[in-house]
Structure 1
Amino acid sequence: MADPAILLTNDDGIDAAGLVRLYEELTALGEVTVVAPSENQSGVGRARSHAVVRQDHPWGYTLSGTPADCVAYGLRGLDTDFDFVVSGCNHGPNAGNYVTGRSGTVGAGIEAAFLGTPAVAVSAYHHEDFFPDPASDYDFGRPARVTVDLCQRAADAGLFTAGTLLNVNVPLDVPDPEMRLTRPLPDYDLHVEHDADPDDIDAVDAIGRDGGLDADTEGTVVRMHEEVWPDVVGFENPFPPTEQHRERYPAGSDRRALVDGEISVSPLTIDRGDAETAALDKVIQQYNGARGSD
């Protein structure tokens, strides 16, 4: 594919270090138009807005909405016929079914896939530090270069067809990481705390991302602690390179690739109706056979 038209977005905001470096690298591959959130929109998944505010940017536009808004506007609101969408480079990994399901980075890719445009969602992780925070202290050059290489190879191989979505996690600190075909691992749990102290719960924790808790409201305060990175306290690395973690996360999973410091590439699908259905088909046949017996 020569000089492809590329739509670039992210969920960390237009000024994010990961997006800046990815833009710099992608311009060597094709014509890049940026439509990105004006502010950080991490963790919003595929959330969409009914209306947004657009502002001009030297690289394209910013929107007051979500990553999915940016992709929807870019693909349907601009005159460009984009060849594919790139979302990232996220400051931190998106690995595991639950995390990818609520990721704004991946959510942008899902929106693109539903609109018939192939997409790559790319996230960066540090093999030792895990989260690159603050992002300004890290070099996102390697994930950006890997993304360009992968996009070029995927396009040349004819993989960029309508509905294609690749979720990619790239280590920042591994000199020559191996690339691994992976599947998202469903590794998640939840801890419920009753009679929680309202003073310990900030606005983001409360119902509605911009909500809060009214101290005068009657009822029991319930706090739900998500364990998206199981057995982790705070921001410690949940995937250290130990035998214990290699045994916990099976080979071929995206989280095992992070343990091994590899590039994880997981093809995702927007078709959620292709699971094994033999048992359900039998239930439906039984139901149909019993119709009219009442």
Structure 2
Amino acid sequence: MDDQPEILLTNDDGIDAPGIRALYDALSAVASVTVIAPDRNQSAVGRSLSYGRTSSDTDDGLSTSMADGMFTSPVPHVDHEIGYAVDGTPCDCAIVGVNALDPEPDLVISGCNEGANLGAYVFSRSGTVSAAMEAAFLDTPSIAISMDTLGLEGDLEPAQFERAGEIAATLATGVPGTGLFDRVDYLNVNVPRPDLEPNGFELTRPTEVYEMDATFENGQFQLTNRLWQQMANRDIPDPEDTDRHALLEGTVSVSPMTVPYDVVETEPVRNILEEIL
């Protein structure tokens, strides 16, 4: 259909991850989808770029074209069954997809990530959220979608991301024309584990609770994420209006954000999302 939205789909788990396959299948039923995603796992690379790092032709590691003042750096790719597999980061993929595609995407969707992306501290770290943020900086509406996988055993299959795909398709078709992205730049969406019964959605803010710990034992430094430890025990210290609290209640968490890191909490936004979801 001519009125289908043009969607750029990317992720940070790599183009062969089950989460992006599930979203591709769900979104292809309602939109024209182009996939540009890393050719391998690029989790937790944040907003890193390959710009200037894709060649070692010069002593300082810059590509020849940059060293010559051309300010251009190649982003290698190969064709893939569902799109383009890029030797680069999620933000590389977002920039290429927003600027090099014809037609330009109406919406960028990043995910579905294998593992939740929760809390204000995660936005500069998560490749999934960073791709959505990069698109937002380029004035393209975007949605990051992640799924809680704590406690799930074995390799995941696309079927386990079915609910995330349904939510992605619902947002992709429901948002256009509502004015939502006149008020926000991107959405950070977190979906509960697939073995939990659906429990609606909550408009949330990213929790500001952050509890990374470090020790020096037996001559080695060690990092411990106390929050993930608490999440594994289903016991967290977050307020009720936060993303992590909603997720552990079995609720889809939707955090409307503006760049760089601000959450938007307004009644019009709530009304739009309640109508869509």
Q: Give CA deviations for 1:119-176 in whole Å, capped at 9, x if unaligned.
A: 00000114xx445652238611011101111222222422134962100011222332
Please report the TM-score for the alignment, with normalisation by the length of structure 1.
0.74
Q: Which amino acid in 1 is paired with 2:143?
A: V
Q: Which amino acid in 2 is paired with 1:157?
A: T
Question: Aligned equivalents of 2:226 and 2:118: distance in 1?
Answer: 10
Question: Aligned equivalents of 2:262 and 2:147: distance in 1?
Answer: 30
Match of 2:232 in 1: 237
1:14 is displaced (CA, Å) by 0.5
For 1:154, which of 175, 195, 208 is the aligned residue? 175
Are the equivalent residues in 1 in contact too, given 2:107–2:142 (CA < 8 A)? Answer: yes
Change (3 A) 1:69 1:163: farther
Match of 1:252 in 2: 241
For 1:136, which of 141, 157, 164 is the aligned residue? 157
Question: Aligned equivalents of 1:228 and 1:105: distance in 2?
Answer: 22
Are the equivalent residues in 1 in contact too, given 2:184–2:256 (CA < 8 A)? Answer: no
Q: Give CA deviations for 1:54-92 in whole Å, capped at 9, x if unaligned.
A: 111232211111111100111112222110000000001
CA RMSD of aligned residues (A): 2.5
Question: Aligned equivalents of 2:128 and 2:107: distance in 1?
Answer: 15
1:263 aligned onto 2:263:
no
**Equivalent residue pairs, number:** 239
Question: Aligned equivalents of 2:154 and 2:121: distance in 1?
Answer: 22
In structure 1, runs of 5+ residues without a counterpart are 199-222, 275-294
SS at match of 1:7: strand
Q: Which amino acid in 1 is paired with 2:200?
A: E
Match of 2:35 in 1: 34
Are the equivalent residues in 2 in contact too, given 1:187–1:228 (CA < 8 A)? Answer: no
Change (3 A) 1:156 1:132: farther
In structure 2, runs of 5+ residues without a counterpart are 52-73, 264-277
SS at match of 1:101: coil
Match of 1:4 in 2: 5
1:197 is displaced (CA, Å) by 3.5
Change (3 A) 1:177 1:133: farther
Once the two structures are aligned, what percentage of the paired residues are identical? Answer: 41
1:89 aligned onto 2:112:
yes
Task: Return structure 1 stretches of 4+ with deviation > 6 angstroms.
Answer: none
1:229 is displaced (CA, Å) by 2.1
Q: Which has the larger radius of gyration?
A: 1
Please report the TM-score for the alignment, with normalisation by the length of structure 2.
0.78
Question: Aligned equivalents of 1:42 and 1:142: distance in 2?
Answer: 22
1:37 is displaced (CA, Å) by 0.2
Change (3 A) 1:44 1:271: closer
SS at match of 2:47: coil
Change (3 A) 1:156 1:229: same
